[in-house]
């Protein structure tokens, strides 16, 4: 008997059902499955009932329905059009849930471990690209009907919110999630009590419950330490993502790795394979090693041997192309947090130290999870071709006998979940030419060749519609952002007419980290002004959050505010506060040009450019990460990705290349129109971009690659 939370889910759904008028009953189970968020028409159901309240609820349907006055529910229950659409959405979702499972391996599901999951804005357990990728991954496994389960942590205050002050300095705040109103349920065991796991941390026993979230067919299990029996410090372990303190992080990663395996055991889930998405969960290998050791008789095996025995059950994906990104820990700190846990598993601290060091013979090197993950896994992969090369170089010291190209690290290039990231406008247009139900086969290039049949007028109208929606969103957002910062009322109000729906609209939105080089755009302010401030003008949207302790990145944002003010065209360059999963789809859909300016080779993959491409945006990017594979000369623009040793020289060179492209190629192409006002040359590029990038960077391609190359390489 499995106590995997499905019964608890049914109970929660029954409770919500009882609140609803009979004709709306299907809304209860729909609300408890994020599949609604990528099913056509799903979001509109809730918006039709009350768009304003749905927004206020953070687009969390459970919270929305629990707080909706009864009279509004009764009114909705008589809306025939709504009921018809509800029946349609319910039918599509039900059909998806009823499909037979496509087993990855016969011996059990794949358990996908990650420290963050960006499933939806209403589930605040993500911070940036890694989490969004993990969320996209789970959604795609659901679409492909694969047996995968996700494992992560339920951060009660997971989500960092951003405010900028007048000077452009970032302030952050956290809101506590109300778990009672999340589309999540506490998993209970046979005795009716919550499933409880413990992991020795510091001098105590850190206890955690497990929550289940339905991401389509794929369950996501989140461990939660916010329990009365835990001390305030222990409870803090699942308070926030990526805490600054190494001790807290170590406790988090112990709960994720060791606690995650124990939680699956407690629920009767026996994975055939553990997929460590980034190294944070690498301690899972110790729990498996310890279990193996208990099953074996005879002489006790050392950790190295035990990891070898378990290797067939682990695969590892690395996302970090810089040594500094692979956090390491002082051994004293490491064992002050985790020592008792390690001892209780019967693992020698010295052996664990060796396995967690690049040089296993060192006694002083600090300890990291990436070396441990690489050693415990039968396969390690990077997330783009170029990142694979970088990772082989970076981890070559772990394989001292291997030549660079023999280092056993391969790559599966990232991709994005198409139904999440393609705007309904574009999805509707493509469906007319691709046929119904094409999304699950979005990795088929044959399908995408149909973009050539879309008439210019239709494609241009879709692009203009999406740009207009973005302009409208921006107008209302920046008035509020500016008033909130205490800007002049006149300046704030001028934003209401800001942004022109006919201008070339350029986007740059991602985590604010210095290597992403947002400042490159402002390298030559005079040149920038000429590009923007023109009758055939351009407008730029910026957004992104810095890690609270990344003062360098916060300074870049601050300087950008100063330069922006100096440009004196305040409504052509805007910074949108609090970039998140709600804002991102609107930006990637509405922008004509998407910029990515990383310092090569530091962009492992990058994914926001793929999202833009799916919506008919064009990429202008440094040839790094995914763009090395995506760019073909016709489907966007590229900046040389070679490395100059002197960083300032590199910035100089790359900024010049950026301005040259904007002045000489991008703008002329965008504004060169035929007699009907259509930019025929631009649209040819948009088609080339959709045709080539669509199949290559849709999640179906990525998940199929993982299944074929990583999960079952010998099939």
Ligand X SMILES: *Cc1c(COP(=O)(O)O)cnc(C)c1O
Footprint on this chain of ligand X (rule: CB under 6 A)? 128-129, 132, 510-511, 579-581, 584, 606-608, 611
Q: Which residues contact 306 (CB under 8 A, 6 or more apart)?
A: 289, 290, 292, 293
- Least separation in angstroms between residue 171's CB and ligand X is 19
CA distances, 298 to each of 7, 161, 289, 301, 320 (Å): 42, 55, 15, 9, 40
- Least separation in angstroms between residue 51's CB and ligand X is 22
- Least separation in angstroms between residue 285's CB and ligand X is 28
Give whichever of 241 and 307 is closer to ligand X, judged by the CB atom.
241
Give whichever of 482 and 611 is closer to ligand X, judged by the CB atom.
611
Give whichever of 128 and 183 is closer to ligand X, judged by the CB atom.
128
Q: Which residues contact 494 (CB under 8 A, 6 or more apart)?
A: 570, 571
- Least separation in angstroms between residue 110's CB and ligand X is 23
For 385, list phi and psi in degrees, rounded to 5.
-65, -50
Work out the number of other CB atoms within 10 angstroms of the CB of residue 241. Answer: 23
Q: Token pair 């499905």 is at which residue?
A: 6
- Least separation in angstroms between residue 321's CB and ligand X is 13
- Least separation in angstroms between residue 541's CB and ligand X is 14
Give whichever of 129 and 630 is closer to ligand X, judged by the CB atom.
129
- Least separation in angstroms between residue 154's CB and ligand X is 19
Characterize the bridge pairing of strands 148-153 and 218-224. parallel
**Would you say 201 and 223 are in contact if contact means Cβ atoms under 8 Å apart?**
no
CA distances, 445 to each of 675, 694, 709 (Å): 32, 8, 20
Q: Token pair 């026996």 is at which residue?
A: 270
Q: Token pair 């080779």 is at which residue?
A: 601
Give whichever of 424 and 585 is closer to ligand X, judged by the CB atom.
585
Q: To 10 degrees, what angle do helices 369-376 and 303-310 make?
A: 60
Give whichever of 5 and 601 is closer to ligand X, judged by the CB atom.
601
Give whichever of 201 and 513 is closer to ligand X, judged by the CB atom.
513
Give whichever of 357 and 599 is closer to ligand X, judged by the CB atom.
599
CA distances, 147 to each of 4, 189, 275, 337, 702 (Å): 14, 22, 13, 34, 16
Instruction: Please choose, from the candidates 286, 230, 232, the residue with its C-alpha nearest in 3D space to the C-alpha of residue 259.
Output: 286
Characterize the bridge pairing of strands 504-509 and 367-368. unpaired
Distance CA 387, CA 83 (A): 49
Evaluate the omega torsion of the peptide bond into residue 601 and state whether it is cis, within 30 degrees of 0. Answer: yes
- Least separation in angstroms between residue 576's CB and ligand X is 12
**Would you say 681 and 669 are in contact if contact means Cβ atoms under 8 Å apart?**
yes
575 half-sphere exposure, CB direction, 13 A CA radius: 28
Residue 132 gets the label, from left (phi > 0), alpha (psi -120 to 50) or beta, of alpha
- Least separation in angstroms between residue 584's CB and ligand X is 4
Give whichever of 94 and 552 is closer to ligand X, judged by the CB atom.
552
Token code pair at residue 326: 């692979």
- Least separation in angstroms between residue 121's CB and ligand X is 9
Q: What is the DSSP string of 199-211?
A: EEETTEEEEEEEE
- Least separation in angstroms between residue 152's CB and ligand X is 17
- Least separation in angstroms between residue 639's CB and ligand X is 15
Give whichever of 286 and 587 is closer to ligand X, judged by the CB atom.
587
Token code pair at residue 470: 């973005």
Return the HEC string of 553-565.
HHHHHHHHHHHHH
For 533, list phi and psi in degrees, rounded to 5.
-90, 80
Length of the chain: 715
Residue 392 gets the label, from left (phi > 0), alpha (psi -120 to 50) or beta, of alpha
Distance CA 446, CA 441 (A): 10
For the chain, how many helices (H) and strands (E)?
30, 20
- Least separation in angstroms between residue 442's CB and ligand X is 17
- Least separation in angstroms between residue 608's CB and ligand X is 3
Give whichever of 218 and 608 is closer to ligand X, judged by the CB atom.
608
Give whichever of 150 and 606 is closer to ligand X, judged by the CB atom.
606
**Would you say 659 and 528 are in contact if contact means Cβ atoms under 8 Å apart?**
yes
506 forms bridges with which residues in the sheet?
540, 593
Give whichever of 462 and 589 is closer to ligand X, judged by the CB atom.
589
Give whichever of 27 and 610 is closer to ligand X, judged by the CB atom.
610
- Least separation in angstroms between residue 570's CB and ligand X is 25
Q: Which residues contact 193 (CB under 8 A, 6 or more apart)?
A: none
Give whichever of 608 and 650 is closer to ligand X, judged by the CB atom.
608
The DSSP call for residue 671 is H
């Amino acid at each position: 008997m499995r106590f995997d939370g499905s019964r608890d889910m049914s109970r929660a759904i029954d409770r919500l059902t009882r609140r609803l008028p009979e004709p709306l009953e299907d809304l209860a189970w729909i609300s408890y499955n994020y599949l609604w968020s990528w099913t056509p028409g799903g979001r509109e159901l809730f918006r039709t009932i009350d768009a304003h309240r749905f927004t206020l609820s953070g687009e969390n349907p459970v919270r929305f329905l629990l707080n909706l006055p009864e009279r509004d529910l009764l009114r909705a229950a008589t809306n025939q059009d709504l009921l018809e659409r509800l029946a349609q959405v319910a039918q599509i979702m039900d059909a998806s849930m009823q499909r037979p499972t496509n087993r990855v391996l016969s011996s059990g599901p794949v358990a996908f471990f990650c420290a963050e999951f960006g499933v939806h804005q209403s589930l605040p357990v993500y911070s940036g690209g890694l989490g969004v990728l993990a969320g996209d991954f789970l959604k795609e496994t659901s679409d492909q009907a694969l047996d995968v389960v996700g494992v992560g942590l339920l951060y009660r205050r997971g989500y960092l919110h951003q405010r900028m002050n007048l000077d452009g300095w970032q302030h952050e705040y956290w809101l506590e999630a109300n778990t009672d109103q999340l589309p999540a349920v506490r998993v209970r065991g046979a005795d009716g009590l919550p499933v409880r796991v413990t992991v020795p941390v510091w001098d105590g026993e850190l206890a955690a419950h497990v929550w289940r979230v339905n991401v389509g067919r794929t369950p996501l299990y989140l461990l939660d330490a916010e329990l009365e029996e835990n001390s305030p410090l222990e409870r803090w372990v699942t308070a926030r993502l990526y805490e600054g303190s190494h001790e807290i992080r170590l406790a988090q990663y112990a709960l994720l790795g060791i606690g995650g395996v124990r939680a699956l055991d407690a629920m009767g889930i026996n994975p055939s394979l553990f997929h460590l998405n980034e190294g944070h969960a690498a301690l899972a290998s110790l729990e498996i090693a310890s279990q193996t050791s208990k099953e074996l008789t005879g002489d006790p095996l050392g950790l190295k041997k035990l990891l070898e025995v378990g290797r067939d059950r682990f695969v590892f994906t690395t996302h970090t192309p810089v040594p500094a990104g692979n956090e390491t820990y002082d051994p004293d700190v490491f064992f002050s947090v985790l020592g008792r846990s390690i001892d209780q598993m019967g693992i020698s601290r010295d052996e664990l130290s060796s396995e967690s060091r690049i040089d296993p013979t060192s006694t002083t090197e600090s300890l990291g999870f990436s070396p441990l993950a690489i050693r415990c896994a039968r396969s390690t992969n990077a997330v783009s071709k170029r990142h694979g090369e970088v990772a082989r170089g970076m981890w070559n010291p772990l394989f001292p006998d291997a030549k660079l190209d023999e280092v056993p690290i391969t790559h599966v290039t990232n991709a994005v979940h198409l139904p999440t990231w393609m705007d309904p406008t574009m999805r509707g247009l493509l469906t007319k030419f691709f046929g119904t139900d094409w999304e699950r086969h979005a990795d088929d290039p044959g399908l995408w060749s149909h973009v050539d049949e879309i008439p210019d007028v239709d494609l241009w109208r879709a692009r203009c519609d999406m740009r207009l929606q973005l302009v409208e969103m921006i107008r209302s957002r920046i008035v509020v952002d500016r008033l909130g910062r205490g800007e002049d009322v006149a300046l704030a109000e001028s934003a209401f007419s800001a942004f022109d729906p006919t201008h070339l609209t350029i986007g740059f939105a991602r985590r604010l980290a210095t290597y992403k080089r947002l400042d490159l755009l402002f390298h030559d302010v005079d040149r920038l002004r000429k590009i923007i401030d023109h009758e055939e003008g351009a407008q730029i949207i910026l957004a992104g959050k810095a890690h609270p302790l990344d003062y360098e990145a916060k300074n870049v944002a601050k300087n950008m505010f100063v330069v922006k003010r100096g440009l004196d065209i305040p409504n052509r360059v805007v910074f949108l506060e609090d970039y998140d999963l709600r804002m991102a789809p609107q930006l990637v859909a509405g922008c004509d040009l998407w910029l990515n300016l990383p310092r090569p080779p530091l962009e492992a993959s990058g994914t926001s450019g793929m999202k833009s491409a799916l919506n008919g945006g064009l990429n202008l990017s440094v040839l790094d990460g995914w763009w090395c594979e995506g760019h073909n000369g016709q489907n966007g623009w590229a900046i040389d990705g070679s490395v100059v040793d002197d960083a300032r020289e590199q910035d100089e060179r790359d900024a010049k290349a950026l301005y040259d492209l904007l002045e000489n190629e991008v703008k002329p192409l965008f504004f060169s129109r035929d007699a009907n006002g259509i930019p025929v040359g631009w649209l040819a590029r948009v088609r080339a971009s959709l045709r080539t990038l669509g199949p290559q960077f849709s999640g179906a391609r990525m998940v199929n690659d993982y299944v074929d190359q990583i999960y079952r390489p010998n099939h």
